Structure 1
Amino acid sequence: MSKVPVILQIVPDLQTGGAERTTIDVAEAIVNAGWTSLVVSQGGRMVEELEATGTKHFLLQAKSKNPWVMWRNSYAIEKICRENKVEVIHARSRAPAWSALWAANRLKIPYITTYHGIYKETNALKAFYNSSMTRGDRVIANSRFTADLVERRDPKTKGRTSVIYRGSDMEALKRENISEERTSELRAKWGVSDNRRVVMNLARLTTWKGQRLLIEATRQLIAKGGYDDVLVVLAGDDQGRETYRQSLELQIAEADLAEQVRIVGHCSDVPAALAISNLSVVASIEAEAFGRAAVEAQAAGVPIIVSNIGAVPETVLVPPHVNEEQRTGWHFESGNAEQLCEIMSKALDMSAEERAKLAEIAQHHVKQAFTKQAMCDATLCVYREFLPKNR
């Protein structure tokens, strides 16, 4: 009988975010396949959820960018791999990727990476640091946009790059699968009354996610008149960026938007958050490598507005890329608060029939390419390529 495959994933921490959610989803798929799943991270609020899948978690200073800590981590990873007979290492971020790469090289086992973000390369040192992600036996990109960027930066990755779109649990996002108890609990927690039209922004609080822009667009929307019942919810962890969060609070106060914009912190129940939403906005002012929030809004049947940069054309369809009848949301020019305001107004003024039609088209679109099952199946196929052929 052949040995059960053992896969180790490494991610900086398990607090919140797309890389972290993908780590857990793939870990669950590994266990469901009858394999052994291991994850190394610095810990966080999602560890309990990870371990519930049957995955063994190892605590390490995986978030550190200190070269000495990274080097020391590589020996800790090597020890974990030897003791657990790991056959494939899968790194999901740059700092822990260096540690994983060194360990994999010493062990002579396959090393895989996933590009979850767009890493800036402003100089040669930064490019070298990023290269831990392009040295994999296979480099997984979470969109065609990301794959093209990787291959432009490092032409040697051509032939080793695979596009595997971030997948979401479509069933979990359906409104009919979300209890009134969950939505009521969330409304009570956030202080959102039933008579408010909710505009949801699901993004960690960081400058490039564009919360400032959304607040300004909201100021313009309220000034138009007729939208006093609109409540913009900024749902995301500041991850220690207290100064930025305080700057948003000041902007809200100075614009006299205390009744229209609310910062609620980390959201642990995204389906319920979308279930109480009338509109979702992704206001990023820098390119999204994928855009999970946009996909999940479409899956939930919530109209979506996104800035027109990064992987947006792959996730939210608009003319002229498709016919008007195939539209799944709206794009606006990145950084253009006035245009965002106009589209928000248009989306909020849709009739129930128009909303239902848009939702149907959007849900069909995301089910074709962005399911959790498709992502996990494709990732396990990559692992199988590097396992002994008798598995």
Structure 2
Amino acid sequence: MKIVQLLPELNEGGVERGTVELSRELVKLGHESIVISAGGKLEEQITKEGGIHITFDVCSKNPLTAPLRIVKLQKILSELKPDILHARSRVPAWLTYLANKKLHIPFVTTVHGFNSVSPYSAIMAKGDRVICVSGAIKAYIQEHYHTEEKKITVIPRGIDLEKFNPQNLDQSFIEDFKKEYHLEERQIVTTVGRITQLKDHQTFIRAIALLKKNDPNIVGLIVGGVREDKQEYFHSLEGLVKELGLEDNIIFTGSQSRVAEIYALSDVVVSSSKKPESFGRSVAEALALNTPVVATSHGGVLDIIVEGENGFFYPVGESEVLTEKILKSKGLKFDGYNYVTYNFSLKNMVEKTIAVYEGLLKR
């Protein structure tokens, strides 16, 4: 098959990672993979791994330039003659949908998030087949767009089980990281993600303050970068740490590339997002490394955590309940790697996606 995936850009993010991973696996299986985007730092990875990248503006929301871009995209697609078009975001989906009016190429969309309910967002439910990254996303589009059951397939994002494998960890990094941040012999509770209000770091910090009453040796790792427009929020978190006397118990590590190792050295991982996550890739990644996760009880994580077996849920903003669940999680023992392999592997994602493509072509 010849598959064209379309997304706005190829910088960092879950959509981008999923596109790159699928492209690589399609090539391995003998398919022709083409990605159309406005470019970005992951563009080179597409071509290195055997795919083709075409730089084209499927990113701009400017309606004045849309008609010309639709005509140009139609020309590109008519020359490529792909078997499948797969749009992963709203602007590319609209441009592809309109460019495809005369071409009639089978059209797949993937709904990656809880987009605002509007005619603009409705395009993501107009694919010949609609992939949802979680049961929560499926329920959301059925409620708001009345998408037919037969058009929808739930395919969770795939976890790279080479990278997130307990057997493949860099032990020297773990030792050095623990030394750098003085983590030896400490209980480590970690949250990973960019520093934004939506991640609700305040509740995480307050939970560490409560845990400290019984365990002065507790440490809360906050792993994630701070964008320029989030500096004020970051400083407010530093102020809260000082106010609660947690200077020795909260560590801001900044952005880190060895996330697998950080999950593995943690006793518990917390996902405290105020907004429902469409899937919750970081939760599945931590579980694959046999680290229990406590998460807010909404969104795609409801498909991932088995409460009482590999983690727990708590209500948004409830630091006391979060504290209780962290304490309960410390005693959990489970085979997270096999659980994630069976339910959320990259292999599963690729196989199910190809099955959607093949089903459309048979039709």
TM (norm. structure 2) is 0.89
* Aligned residue runs from structure 1 range 100-179, under 5 A: 100-121=96-117, 127-179=118-170
Q: Supply the distance in 2 between the matched residues of 1:288 and 1:239 (Cα, whole angstroms).
A: 23
Q: Which residue of 1 aligns with 2:195?
A: 205
* Aligned residue runs from structure 1 range 1-391, under 5 A: 5-121=1-117, 127-184=118-175, 191=181, 193-222=183-212, 224-236=213-225, 238=227, 241-318=230-307, 327-347=309-329, 350=330, 354-355=331-332, 358-360=333-335, 362-387=336-361
- Partner of 1:105, secondary structure, is coil
- Partner of 1:128, secondary structure, is coil
- Partner of 2:64, secondary structure, is helix
Q: RMSD in angstroms over aligned alpha carbons?
A: 2.6
Q: Supply the distance in 2 between the matched residues of 1:385 and 1:359 (Cα, whole angstroms).
A: 36
One-letter amino acid of the counterpart of residue 113, structure 1: T
Segment of structure 1 superposing worse, 179-188 or 144-153 = 179-188
Q: Supply the distance in 2 between the matched residues of 1:282 and 1:219 (Cα, whole angstroms).
A: 17
1:275 is displaced (CA, Å) by: 2.3
Asked if structure 2 preserves the Cα contact closer than 8 Å seen for 1:28 and 1:54, the reply is yes
1:176 is displaced (CA, Å) by: 1.8
One-letter amino acid of the counterpart of residue 85, structure 1: K
Segment of structure 1 superposing worse, 369-378 or 106-115 = 106-115
- Partner of 2:11, secondary structure, is coil
- Partner of 1:311, secondary structure, is helix
Asked if structure 2 preserves the Cα contact closer than 8 Å seen for 1:70 and 1:95, the reply is no
Q: Supply the distance in 2 between the matched residues of 1:14 and 1:257 (Cα, whole angstroms).
A: 38
Report the number of matched residues: 363
Segment of structure 1 superposing worse, 298-307 or 107-116 = 107-116
1:83 is displaced (CA, Å) by: 3.3
- Partner of 2:100, secondary structure, is helix
The structure-2 alpha-carbon separation of the partners of 1:72 and 1:212, relative to structure 1 and needing over 3 Å to count, comes to farther
1:371 is displaced (CA, Å) by: 0.9
- Partner of 1:166, secondary structure, is coil
Q: Which runs of 5+ in 1 are unaligned?
A: 122-126, 319-323
The structure-2 alpha-carbon separation of the partners of 1:71 and 1:264, relative to structure 1 and needing over 3 Å to count, comes to farther
- Partner of 2:269, secondary structure, is strand
One-letter amino acid of the counterpart of residue 110, structure 1: P
The structure-2 alpha-carbon separation of the partners of 1:162 and 1:306, relative to structure 1 and needing over 3 Å to count, comes to same
1:342-381: CA deviation from partner (whole Å, max 9, x where unpaired): 222343xx4xxx44xx232x44432321111001011011
- Partner of 1:359, secondary structure, is coil
1:154 is displaced (CA, Å) by: 1.3
The structure-2 alpha-carbon separation of the partners of 1:241 and 1:46, relative to structure 1 and needing over 3 Å to count, comes to farther
TM (norm. structure 1) is 0.83
The structure-2 alpha-carbon separation of the partners of 1:134 and 1:194, relative to structure 1 and needing over 3 Å to count, comes to same
1:64 is displaced (CA, Å) by: 3.0
- Partner of 2:101, secondary structure, is helix
Identity across matched positions, percent: 29
The structure-2 alpha-carbon separation of the partners of 1:270 and 1:232, relative to structure 1 and needing over 3 Å to count, comes to closer
1:82 is displaced (CA, Å) by: 3.0
Asked if structure 1 preserves the Cα contact closer than 8 Å seen for 2:141 and 2:147, the reply is no
1:150-182: CA deviation from partner (whole Å, max 9, x where unpaired): 111111433211111112123431222112244
The structure-2 alpha-carbon separation of the partners of 1:120 and 1:247, relative to structure 1 and needing over 3 Å to count, comes to farther
One-letter amino acid of the counterpart of residue 215, structure 1: I
Q: Which residue of 2 aligns with 1:124?
A: none
Q: Which runs of 5+ in 2 are unaligned?
A: none
